[in-house]
Chains A and B, each alone.
Chain A
Amino acid sequence: MIIDVAFQPVCPLDRLEPDRGVAALVNGVQIALFRTSDGELFAVGNRDPISHAYVMSRGIVGSRADVPTVASPLHKQVYDLRTGTCLDVADVSLPVYPVRVSEDSVVEVAVE
């Protein structure tokens, strides 16, 4: 379990465009940060586990049934933004990180 104090500020909330991602460097770890059009926030690893390139933040955000998703921009495999599980390839997943918005509207991520 990650404890509260590990949250670190990343950027103002309004820097995130709806349904589009950005990459952030937190403690030397590359994070892909998304804000959906519903206002939900997700943080997953930026490294595409299939191509090994750090590009997940540049994927297209969408949904599959009720699952919020992101598709790798290189070869289009789709991932569940909530759990990081790849929905197209078995046994592939992205790490997920806790994310929240502070009282002064700053996005914060917890990375160990």
Chain B
Amino acid sequence: MKRLVIIGNGMVGQRLIEAVRARDDGGEWSVTVLAEEGRPAYDRVKLSAFFDGSSAEDLNLHTPDAGVDLRLGEPAASVDLADRVVTTAAGAYRYDALVFATGSYPFVPPVDGKDLPGVFVYRTLDDLEAIREYARGRHIGAVIGGGLLGLEAANAMRLLGLSTHVIEFAPRLMPVQIDEAGGAMLRRYVEDLGVTVHTGTGTTALNAGPDGAVATLSLSNGAVVKADMVIVAAGIRPRDDVARAAGLAVGPRGGILVDGTGRTSAEDVYAVGECAAVDGVCYGLVAPGYAQAEVVADRLMGGAATFPGADLSTKLKLLGVDVASFGDAHGTAEGCLDVTFTDPATRVYAKLVLSDDAKTLLGGVLVGDATGYPALRAGVGLALSAPPLTLLAPAGAEADAGAGLAALPGSAQVCSCNAVTKDTIVDAIHAQGCADVPALKACTRAGTSCGSCVPMLKQLLTLEGVTQSKALCEHFDHSRQELFDIVRVRNIRSFSALIAEAGRGKGCDICKPVVASILASLHTGYVLEGEQASLQDTNDHFLANIQRNGTYSVVPRIPGGEITPEKLIVIGEVARDFHLYTKITGGQRIDLFGARVEQLPLIWKRLVDAGFESGHAYGKSLRTVKSCVGSTWCRYGVQDSVGLAVALELRYRGLRSPHKLKSAVSGCARECAEARSKDFGIIATDNGWNLYVGGNGGFRPRHADLFATDLSTEELVRTIDRFLIFYIRSADRLQRTAAWIESLDGGLDHLRDVIVHDSLGLCAELDAAMAGHITNYADEWAATLDDPDRLSRFVSFVNAPDAPDPSISFTVERGQPVPVSSSAEGRQPVLLGMPAVTEGSPA
């Protein structure tokens, strides 16, 4: 077996491992990876997501592989090209082939004070952890560098709650990617977010304060900027130190010199990714690196692949603003023409670069709206698919992107990160039966890196005749969101009116509960009023949760998990008197199981008289707002988490939604209430509250993302109000908040735009809707007990109201009643454990 040694386990090194493992069918190579960082490869492109709630695990790219010896925290110190040995502090490794994948290091200009405490670079997860740690309790940050990385770093500072300055030497932001007019538009967006931009000026010194840490920056225009911390994002340099020392040739501007096959100046030694200078040029993007990794893997297997050259197109979402540049963005080609489009009202800037005869698309820049990007980028070098202005106008972009896509030749690259062509995708759709985006991702890898080609994958599916149906069920062609709008706009009050207007047939167990929930969200009132009763699932119908043996459970609301001894005693007495199995739930309250329908009103009468309300354990609605003890008792607590949890639970109780809603409030960053596993979670800070959204446990656990920091209680409540109503209005059936946010075009940033910056002008309406809910809330159980008609539903048998259901019987386990044979038969997933009482023989 031959040994391949790879130096560096970054994004490209990782891709090389995968490419080699995928091709090496004969098991020819054993792979040893020497990695400087202490953790396996992670997605550096998405690094900033770390400040938006993603954890280090979320970014992980590496899966353990028995054929790969990954040596973390063991950097290569030197290479002996003659003996073919790599040496580290821990050992020496002989190689048959060696690949450098050492990436870049951040360039720090040689200004005074660059080594002061409080000065950081932005490259690794360790850097980000240090930044987060240092930012605690600090207020002002500055970023040196207004390029891609600098703006990402500025956003990170914002998310950490610092007021932020960006200092850029060039006269505009992102000088490498975009032109002057685009830079000006971008600047307006960035300044609106409260970031102060200084362009056309350098940093001459970083100055220490009395504590010895950085406190101010001196700029070349004479200004002095106060800053408690500084991030330097002034560019990157290839890491060619070890290669240089070994005697490998380097490029004129640094980087390990390689040819189109990835080979360096030494036999069997290659370089890939940012450390490689391909014919003298280093690429600072991941896609060219991936292409190089594929080439080298092919060569190692004896293939003849060569690096096709790089597409330096990029699409970014920086501080919530779409920015894209593609092809010859700066118009360097001989005699080329520019077509530009600027709309100050919608803040959209776009430029297309065309060949001298205006027939071929060469490149372009988009700021503010990059919907057209995927199709435009794929069209570079091809004849224009429509008149330039049609391609640029944002309104037309979406529709025309589809048309443009149809016109593209099969060899056009749809996914540039993974070099997937239109042909490959169309083939996956037809020959391999891929019917949605996840299937296409799995089959072709398209869309799995930066994600910007995903809209094109969707359009291709549509173009190829795969309909991704949004129909709720056979009775409605609409999605839940569309039905919500129809009900709201046409003021529809009943299922029969809706199905007559917009559907067909009689409805079913899918559409009826959905419509019931929509009606309940819009016209808050008793959920079993009139015809609405027939729409409800049995749980909502009996205001209790059905169990495997046909009995129900009873869950009184215990807001925030706080309960008086008197109330605890009442629960105990009720459970004892009705022989109910009793359990403390995972939601900080108490569940009583085994009630027959005719017992439910009697049980609830006792509970309501003692001051309890429905806990809505049965509804798609707010479940619990869990709390930790918080500042009232806990020695660490900084805010009253119980008080807030109780207030929130009372505010949102009874709110009907597409799926259940859960929340929690923790009194400090120790997070004992597990708020980050909730749809909306709140963690106390010294200055107020941090709000996280889109978390859940369940089948696919997900941590919530940080949405806003240091809110006052009033700001917090207003933000949550809007978040919830917007979710209720626009989410799909049974879509928890996490999936809903993922499905929004523009994701979390878009959500922030809508509910914080009111970009859709909806906020007043959302606020009013929540106010309506709060005023109209009434406890469903109290309302049921008050009305003899409603109570008449609660019988086991219509013709024998006093007879209990003879099929229900219990046995005793650990001192409590449980359904008969729950343990014997209960392991089978579908056959629920009930004795098979034959028809006609009451047990």
Which residues of A line the B interface, CB within 8 A?
9-11, 15, 17-20, 22-30, 33, 36-37, 45, 47, 50-55, 58-65, 68-69, 71, 73-76, 78, 95
Contacts and interface: CB of A to CB of B under 8 A. Distances in A.
Contact of B512 (A29, A33, A52, A60): A60
A74 B839 contact: no
Interface string B489-515: 000000010000000011111011100
A75 to B, nearest CB: 7
A18 B548 contact: no
A58 B541 contact: yes
Given A10-B799, A37-B496, A64 B831 contact: no
B263 to A, nearest CB: 61
B836 interface: yes
A17 B534 CA distance: 8
Contacts of A11: 798-799
Given A24-B799, A27-B840, A59-B509, A52 B832 contact: yes
Contacts of A23: 796-798, 805
B842 interface: yes
B830 A75 contact: yes
B533 A78 contact: no
A28 B840 contact: yes
Contacts of A17: 533-534
B261 interface: no
A73 B842 contact: no
B834 A51 contact: yes
A47 B513 CA distance: 23
A93 to B, nearest CB: 13
B534 A19 contact: yes
Interface string B817-843: 000000000000011111111011110
B474 A64 contact: yes
A64 B508 contact: yes
A22 B798 contact: yes
A53 B842 contact: no
Given A10-B798, A11-B799, A25-B799, A62 B508 contact: yes
A50 to B, nearest CB: 6
Contacts of B840: 27-29
Given A10-B798, A19-B534, A74-B546, A51 B508 contact: no
User: Which of B542, B796, B842 is most buried by chain A, counting CB atoms within 10 A of its CB?
Assistant: B796
B803 interface: yes
B550 interface: yes
User: Which of A55, A68, A71 is most buried by chain B, counting CB atoms within 10 A of its CB?
Assistant: A55
B800 interface: yes
B538 interface: yes
B506 A36 contact: yes
B800 A54 contact: no
Given A15-B798, A45-B839, A75-B830, A65 B533 contact: no
Contacts of B512: 60, 62
A20 B807 contact: no
Contacts of B805: 23, 30, 54
B537 interface: yes
Given A15-B798, A53-B549, A60 B834 contact: no
A55 B550 contact: yes
Given A23-B805, A53-B549, 9 more contacts: A11-B799, A22-B798, A28-B840, A51-B830, A53-B832, A54-B550, A60-B512, A63-B505, A65-B505
B191 interface: no
B80 interface: no
Interface string B456-497: 000000000000000000110000000000000000000010
A55 B832 CA distance: 12
A97 B548 CA distance: 25
A31 to B, nearest CB: 9
User: Which of B538, B799, B808, B832 is most buried by chain A, counting CB atoms within 10 A of its CB?
Assistant: B799
B531 interface: yes
Interface in B14-36: none
14 contacts: A10-B799, A22-B798, A23-B796, A23-B798, A24-B798, A27-B840, A30-B839, A52-B834, A53-B549, A53-B550, A63-B475, A63-B506, A64-B505, A68-B506
Contacts of B831: 50-52
Contacts of B506: 19, 36-37, 61-63, 68
Contacts of B832: 50-53, 74
Contact of A73 (B546, B830, B836): B546
A52 B835 contact: yes
Contacts of A33: 798
Contacts of A37: 496, 506, 534
Contact of B538 (A55, A64, A69): A55
B497 to A, nearest CB: 13
Interface residues of B, number: 44
A58 B546 contact: yes
Contacts of A59: 509, 538
Nearest to A75: B830
A28 B841 contact: yes
A89 to B, nearest CB: 9
A74 B832 CA distance: 9
A74 to B, nearest CB: 7
Contacts of B549: 53
Interface string B515-549: 00000000000000001011101100110001011
B538 A73 contact: yes
Interface string B682-714: 000000000000000000000000000000000
Nearest to B805: A54
Contacts of A69: 508
A71 B841 CA distance: 25
A23 B549 CA distance: 15
Nearest to A52: B834
A52 to B, nearest CB: 4
B541 A26 contact: no
A54 B798 CA distance: 14
Contacts of A65: 474, 505
Contact of B548 (A20, A45, A71, A74): A74
B800 A62 contact: no
B799 A26 contact: yes
Contacts of A25: 797, 799-800, 803
A13 B73 CA distance: 79
A51 B831 CA distance: 5
Given A25-B800, A28-B842, A29-B839, A60 B508 contact: yes
User: Which of A54, A62, A64 is most buried by chain B, counting CB atoms within 10 A of its CB?
Assistant: A62
A19 B516 CA distance: 14
Contacts of B837: 47
A53 B508 contact: no
B164 to A, nearest CB: 52
Contacts of B508: 60, 62-64, 69, 71, 78
A108 to B, nearest CB: 11
B534 A76 contact: no
Contacts of A68: 506
User: Which of A26, A51, A53, A71 is most buried by chain B, counting CB atoms within 10 A of its CB?
Assistant: A53
A78 B841 contact: no
A112 B832 CA distance: 28
A48 to B, nearest CB: 8
Contacts of B800: 24-25
B798 A60 contact: no
B790 to A, nearest CB: 11
B505 A58 contact: no
A-B residue pairs, 3 tightest by C-beta: A63-B506, A62-B508, A51-B832
User: Which of A58, A69, A78 is most buried by chain B, counting CB atoms within 10 A of its CB?
Assistant: A58
Contacts of A58: 538, 541-542, 546
Contacts of A29: 839-840
A52 B796 CA distance: 16
A54 B807 contact: yes
Contacts of A61: 506, 534
A39 to B, nearest CB: 13
Nearest to A15: B798
